[in-house]
Structures are given as C-alpha cells and as structure tokens.
Amino acid sequence: MGKMYFPQYETGRKKGINLVVGRTVLEHIRRAGGIEINSECGGQGRCEKDLIRVEKGLSSLTKITPAEQKFLDRAKLTPGYRLACQARVARDDSDIEIFIRDFGKYTILTESIDTGVEISPCVFRKDGKVFYHTGEELGSYKGRMLGLAVDIGTTTLVMQVVDLETGKNIGTIASKNPQIAYGNDVISRGGYAMTHEGGLKELQAVVVNGIKSSLEEMEENLKVAADSINKYIYDVVIVGNSIMRSIFCGQDPSPLAVMPFEPSDKKPVTLSASGMGFSFNPEARVYGPPLIGGHAGADCLADIISTRLYESGDIEMIIDIGTNGEVVIGNRHKIMTASCAAGGAYEGYQISCGVGAVEGAITNVWSDNGKLEYATLGGKPAAGVCGSGVIDLLAELLRIGVMDERARIGSPYRITDGLSISQDDINQLIMAKAGLRTDQDLLVKYFGTSYDNVSKIFLAGAFGNFIDVSNAMKIGLYPPIDKNKFVRFGNGALAGARDMLLSKRRRADAERIAVFARHTKPNELEGTEFQYMVAGNMYFNRNILQK
C-alpha cells in the first residue's frame, strides 16, 4: 500500500499517511495532524485557498473537477497544482508526495495585561501531596506545581504555563488553530461535527494535539528537558467561544450551529487531562469555564474577569473582535453581552485581497497627496491586506473620495500590482462592520444609557490592539467618542484564563457572572428595528469622516 508524504512537515515527512482510496488530500491532512493548510470553506471547493502541488504520484489522484479546472485556468498554474479538497485518491499502489502552498507565518497576539490577581489556585500541596480544591488527591508533590491557561480561538491557539505557587509566567506560546483545515468559521466546524461520523472526536483530538505540539515547542524554546513542563502540570483552564469550548470539552456543538444558536449546556466542565490524551501529571484536571449564552462563550467571560468590569461602579464596555465578535457593557450591578460572527472579513478572509496577519500582510495604509502608501508585516512584499490594514484602507478611500458615503466605488481599486479591492469585498466589509456596530448600539440602548455615560471601552484581542482607533471611528466600526476612553487590553481572554487558574475566587466569580450576565439577541428587538439599525450602520457619516 502506498503512502502520502508532506516533506514540509515532520509529521508527514518520515512515516507518511496510509492512502485511502476515495478520500481527498484534505481528509488525509486532517487525519495526519500537525500539518497546516488553509481551508476557509471547510472543504467545499469554494475558497480556493487549499492549493497544493503534487510532486509525485499525480496519476494516483482523480481527474481535475470542472470547478477546480476553472480556478487553475484563471490562476494560470502549471500542471501538478490541485485543490486539496477536490483531489481524491484513485489508487493506493504507489506513493504520493504533496507540497502545501505556504500561506505565511502568523503574527499572533500573546501579550496580556498583568491583572495583579491574588495567588490562591485550585490546587494546593499538603504533607508532600497535591490536592484539588474539591478534596481529590492529585499525586505526590515533585518540587513544583504548574498550571496551563489556554485561549482557543477560531484561528489561533495561545497558551501560557504558570507557576501555581509564585504566579510566575514560565512561558507563552502561540500557533494557528489546526482546526482551520475544517473551515475558518465556527459554524463550519459545528456543521462538520454534526454531519461526519466521529466528527466531534476528530475535532477535539485535532485541538488537543495542537496544544501538545505547542508545549513540545515551548520546551524546545526554553531549552529544557522533555517532560520538564508536562509532568508538573496539575491544572488547566481553557477558554474559547461557545463552539470552540464545547468541541474541546467533547460536548455536542450542533445546537450552536443552527437557530436559535444556543448551547445545550452552559455549565462549567471539569475533565481528566489523561482521559483527553494529555501527558500531564496523571491526575491533572482540565477546567472549562461556563458559557454566557449564544456565541458569548468562556472567552467573553474571561474578558470580563480580566478587565474587572464586574467590579466597577462606572459603566464600562468590552469590544473583542475576532472571527467572532463579542461586546459587553456593564458594571457591578448589571452586565449585558452580545455576539456576532463578524471577523471573517476583518481577519483577511471572505475578501479577495485579504490575508491573515502573515508576513507580507499590509497592516497600515495612509495617503500622501492622494496616493496610498502602506506598510507590511516584516517589511515583506505585499501579499494581501489584514484586518488593521482593511480599516485604514476603507478610511483612506473615503478620505480621498474614491469611495462615497454609501460605500460605492466606480471600479476595483488597485492597491499594488496584482492586488486590488472590489465592490464585492467592500460589501462584505460593511456588512461585518454594521453587525459589530449594531451590537454596540443595541447594548447601549438595552442598558438604558448613552455612549457619553460609558467611562471606558476595553479593546481586547489582536484586532483591537493593532487597529487605528481614529480610522475605526471614521468608518463607523466604533462610536465617535473621546479617544481617551479606549483602553487596549491585549489578549484579555488569556489573561482571564490565567486569573481563573491562579485564583479560586476569580473562578467562582466567573461561575457567578455567567448566570448573572444577560446575553442579548438581535431578534429580541421588536419588529424591524434591528434591520433598520444594521442598514443605518452599513454606510458612513461624512461629518464624522471630516473630523
């Protein structure tokens, strides 16, 4: 029997993957684990991002599909290029060697604010043994107690190892979420779990293996002996949006993928680390904080914990824009949340000129005498426009008159040779922008206040930390208020996970807040008011633009 090899990756270079006739190259990649490929549409053949080059064994694959041929002709690619989700194994009597187009090294936000949390973790040592706060013995004390905080984003994995006795950060590491091979949005992944036998376990195993691989990389980076981190980990706190957290904990995410988009179980989850396949201390625990409601999940809850919004006497807001967007408003008396799937367009997906935060991504755009200038990540040649660059680009197109207040351009605008933004791209961007801004307006309305009475707006996550706030206000993504009210907060979800790892009190606070906070849904607005709000937020206010 032949095998499929991926020389770019250690996983696929040495042993290879046994060929299965009828399965696509993408399905082989998913089975292998540790091999990165971009498949935004989840293998439907629509995004054309999973481009591969067959170095050997092309005759062992099925013929090119009509949809695939159309793309290959348009891209003017030479024979040997295929789309991984379209190319199936036709015969298994010889090896196949695959080269995956490198879509760049991601820049992932790992920094988070030190919240000054008190150190009182849920594990403690007594008489040479380590115990969980509920009384179970976790094994002998071996000289140190470590914990792991994990933020599972739709696109990224960010984790931090912490000394549970001193609170010291041992190491932080980030990587792409390997589940991106199943689609770049949570609905695609929820759908995969629903429609594929064993899909939930497969998605869970993929992210578990991603965490294990990152920990191995951390040990290499810190130049410490193998297992010198793993074997001391007694407690893990993992946060993520509702679908990411549900999949990781092995819970059926299908109710979140269909109307009314509510989880079947919002309660916190405690699991056995060894039962999930981790090689931590054998009795280590894994804690998944509760979900607030809808797609406002454990990551949104972690933002609330890390910002201490729930202890404030003033009205404060949190805006965390990623592949999912979450908005929070409140104080110690009342908390309200809203969420929407908005980040695809602003994370470089869903638009023809978009890329993620990879080397060569245009991150900043400005105009000089009517001509657009730009900067890229790493100073590399422009590969596309990422989220922060998209905000600047829209603002500058408005400023120089290329785009009008109704978001119309006469023809595709050329940014660089071979890179332009189209009217369809702009339509995607303004729809996403309108949803995010409507969530903000909706919460302010429901809270019974105004933006003037909001004392702070915390910008959590990579998007909020890198964009130009003035330009975000100019295009209507953020409300036109005093810039000094905006506070960049780094990775608030990771900071909140760390707080729940280091403090029993903060973990108890999180469980209380999840019940206390109210999740607001757009359909709770009466009649067509929500639709009118979205429509009004799709376009631009010339008075604001000129400020």
- pLDDT, one tens digit per residue, over 135-179 is 999 988 999 999 999 999 888 899 999 999 999 999 999 888 888
Mean pLDDT of 441-458: 94
Report whether the peptide linkage leading into residue 263 is cis, meaning its omega lies within 30 degrees of zero: no
Instruction: Indicate whether 73 and 25 sit together in one domain.
Output: yes
Mean pLDDT of 200-229: 88
pLDDT at 280 > cutoff 80? yes
Instruction: Indicate whether 93 and 134 sit together in one domain.
Output: no
pLDDT at 328 > cutoff 60? yes
pLDDT at 76 > cutoff 70? no
Mean pLDDT of 431-453: 91
Instruction: Indicate whether 166 and 215 sit together in one domain.
Output: yes
Instruction: Indicate whether 287 and 223 sit together in one domain.
Output: yes
Task: Show the CA angle centred on residue 445, arms to residues 444 and 449, nearest 5°.
Answer: 65
* Residues paired with residue 371 on neighbouring β-strands, in sequence order: 368
CA distance to 87, 185, 316, 493, per residue, from 322 (Å): 31, 10, 20, 12
Copy the structure tokens of residue 157: 């994995």
User: Is residue 9 domain-resident?
Assistant: yes
Region of 349 please: left (phi>0), alpha (psi -120 to 50) or beta: beta
Instruction: Indicate whether 144 and 269 sit together in one domain.
Output: yes
CB 478 within 8 Å of CB 469: yes
Instruction: Indicate whether 211 and 279 sit together in one domain.
Output: yes
Q: How confident is the model at residue 325 (pLDDT cuts 50, 70, 90)?
A: confident
Instruction: Indicate whether 163 and 84 sit together in one domain.
Output: no
Instruction: Indicate whether 26 and 154 sit together in one domain.
Output: no
Domain-terminating residue out of 269, 300, 331: 300
Residue (of 374, 356, 383) closest to 468 by Cα position: 374
Instruction: Indicate whether 137 and 283 sit together in one domain.
Output: yes
Comparison of pLDDT for 544 and 314, the residue scoring more: 314
- For residue 238, the SS3 value is strand
pLDDT at 36 > cutoff 50? yes
User: Is residue 482 domain-resident?
Assistant: no
Name, in order, each residue with C-beta under 8 angstroms of 86's C-beta and a sequence gap of 6 or more: 24, 45, 64, 65, 67, 68
pTM for this entry? 0.81
Q: What is the rounded distance in angstroms from the CA atom of residue 464 to the CA atom of residue 459?
A: 5
pLDDT at 525 > cutoff 60? no
User: Is residue 108 domain-resident?
Assistant: no
Secondary structure element (H or E) that encloses residue 208, with its range: helix 199-221
pLDDT at 30 > cutoff 50? yes
Mean pLDDT of 75-81: 74
User: Is residue 271 domain-resident?
Assistant: yes
Comparison of pLDDT for 185 and 509, the residue scoring more: 509
At residue 80, the pLDDT reads 83
- Over residues 368-394, the pLDDT tens digits come to 887 889 998 878 888 888 888 899 999
CATH code where residue 220 lies: 3.30.420.480
Mean confidence (pLDDT) of the chain: 86
At residue 285, the pLDDT reads 96
pLDDT at 542 > cutoff 70? no
pLDDT at 97 > cutoff 60? yes
Domain-terminating residue out of 267, 300, 333: 300
Mean pLDDT of 266-293: 94
pLDDT at 496 > cutoff 50? yes
Comparison of pLDDT for 227 and 448, the residue scoring more: 448
Domain count, the chain: 2
User: Is residue 43 domain-resident?
Assistant: yes
At residue 160, the pLDDT reads 94
CATH code where residue 66 lies: 3.10.20.30
CB 198 within 8 Å of CB 30: no
Instruction: Indicate whether 127 and 87 sit together in one domain.
Output: no
CB 303 within 8 Å of CB 490: no
- Over residues 294-309, the pLDDT tens digits come to 889 999 999 999 999 9
Domain range for residue 27?
Answer: 3-100
At residue 547, the pLDDT reads 44
Domain-terminating residue out of 300, 334, 365: 300
Instruction: Indicate whether 44 and 133 sit together in one domain.
Output: no
- Over residues 358-369, the pLDDT tens digits come to 778 898 999 888
Comparison of pLDDT for 125 and 322, the residue scoring more: 125
Beta strands in 242-360 (DSSP E): 269-272, 285-288, 315-321, 325-330, 335-340
At residue 193, the pLDDT reads 85
User: What backbone phi and psi angles, to 5 degrees, belong to 288?
Assistant: -105, 110
6-10, 151-155, 505-509: which is most confident: 505-509
User: Is residue 275 domain-resident?
Assistant: yes
Mean pLDDT of 529-543: 74
pLDDT at 104 > cutoff 60? no
pLDDT at 344 > cutoff 70? no
Instruction: Indicate whether 66 and 199 sit together in one domain.
Output: no
Share of the chain above pLDDT 70, in %: 90
User: Is residue 341 domain-resident?
Assistant: no
Q: How confident is the model at residue 348 (pLDDT cuts 50, 70, 90)?
A: low
User: Is residue 372 domain-resident?
Assistant: no
